[in-house]
Amino acid sequence: MSQRLIELLLEALWETVAMVGVSAVLAALIGVPLGILLLVTQPGNILARPTFNRIVGAVVNAARSTPFIILMVAIIPLTRALVGTSIGTAAATVPLVVAAAPFIARLVEASLREVDSGLVEAAQAMGASPLQIVVKVLVPEALPGIAAGLTITVVSLIGYSAMAGAVGGGGLGDLGIRYGYQRFQGEVMVAVVAVLIVLVQVVQSVGDYAAHRLNKRERT
């Protein structure tokens, strides 16, 4: 492997990690509260607001059903407004966040739904307010599931970030397409895929470890 190729790979890897890392954090900051909101406003839940829940649910579904490549192009005006440009790594984080936040929201909602309703009832019987139930019961109990959901999201984001290369986002996907496909340098493509495999492997292992450490449900 040439020195040049290694440099290219390292640069692209860094771009991917930065793009995915920043968008994952931002998406989690939006998606986790959104997921909590989706659950607690359901009819019969602790802050039931059926109409609000239907509207937010519909928006989330709409965002999730738009193919990423279309979403990316469709929100270019928003991207320009937020980061000043529609090209480059920073610009790529906007569609990544928009795509990942609703995904996280649904995963968080599903994890929270798994929490035994008896625990919520017990907290209510103790005189807990809805906010206390969320902070002290729902989120801590769902944390292993939320951690697993975030891991899935990061892995998906790595895949999406390759597509973001298509709008000049840079990163590993971009490198693979430009050198491997457009310049017929097959070994670059193979190297890119190998790096991606290792990256996903590392993310998944860290995520599994975190979920395992957070899970107190099994005897140890």
Partner 1 sequence: MIVIDDLEKEFGGPSGPNPVLRGISLTIEKGEVFGIIGRSGAGKSTLVRCINLLERPTRGRITVAGRELSGLSGAALRAARHDIGMVFQHFNLLSSRTVQGNVSLPLELVDMPRGLRLRRVDEMLELVGLTDKRDAYPAQLSGGQKQRVGIARALASRPSVLLCDEATSALDPETTKSILALLAEINHTLNLTIVLITHEMQVVREIADRVAVLDQGRVVEQGAVFDVFTQPSHPITRSLVREVLNLELPERVSSRLRHSPQTSPGLVMRITFTGPSANEPIVSEMVRRFGVSFNILHGHIDYIQNAPYGTLTVEAGGSEAGLQAALDFLRVKSLKVEILGRVAAPDRAVA
Residue 118 interacts with partner 1 (CB under 8 A)? yes
Tell me how far, at minimum, the Cβ of 125 lies from partner 1, in Å: 4
Residue ranges of alpha helices (H) inside 41-88 are: 50-65, 68-74, 76-83
Rounded to whole angstroms, how far apart are CA atoms 99 and 69?
10
Quick one: which segment of 9-17, 53-61, 126-134, 202-210 binds partner 1 (CB under 8 A)?
126-134
Tell me how far, at minimum, the Cβ of 6 lies from partner 1, in Å: 44
Show the tokens assigned to 182: 């457009």
Residue 87 interacts with partner 1 (CB under 8 A)? no
* Residue (of 24, 12, 60, 51) closest to 147 by Cα position: 24
Residue 126 interacts with partner 1 (CB under 8 A)? yes
Q: What angle is formed at CA 80 by the lines to CA 68 and CA 176, rounded to 5 degrees?
A: 45
Show the tokens assigned to 73: 């192009």
> With respect to partner 1, which residue has the nearer C-beta, 10 or 131?
131
> With respect to partner 1, which residue has the nearer C-beta, 2 or 220?
220
**Alpha-carbon dihedral 7, 13, 14, 16, rounded to 10 degrees:** 150
Quick one: which segment of 7-15, 59-67, 120-128, 186-194 binds partner 1 (CB under 8 A)?
120-128
What DSSP designation does 75 have? T
Binding mask 127-156 for partner 1 (x = CB under 8 A): xxx--x---xx--xx-x-------------
Rounded to whole angstroms, how far apart are CA atoms 31 and 143?
14
> With respect to partner 1, which residue has the nearer C-beta, 60 or 211?
211
Query: What residue type is assigned to position 63 of the chain?
Result: A
Tell me how far, at minimum, the Cβ of 31 lies from partner 1, in Å: 21
| Residue ranges binding partner 1 (CB under 8 A) | 116, 118-119, 121-129, 132, 136-137, 140-141, 143, 214, 216-220
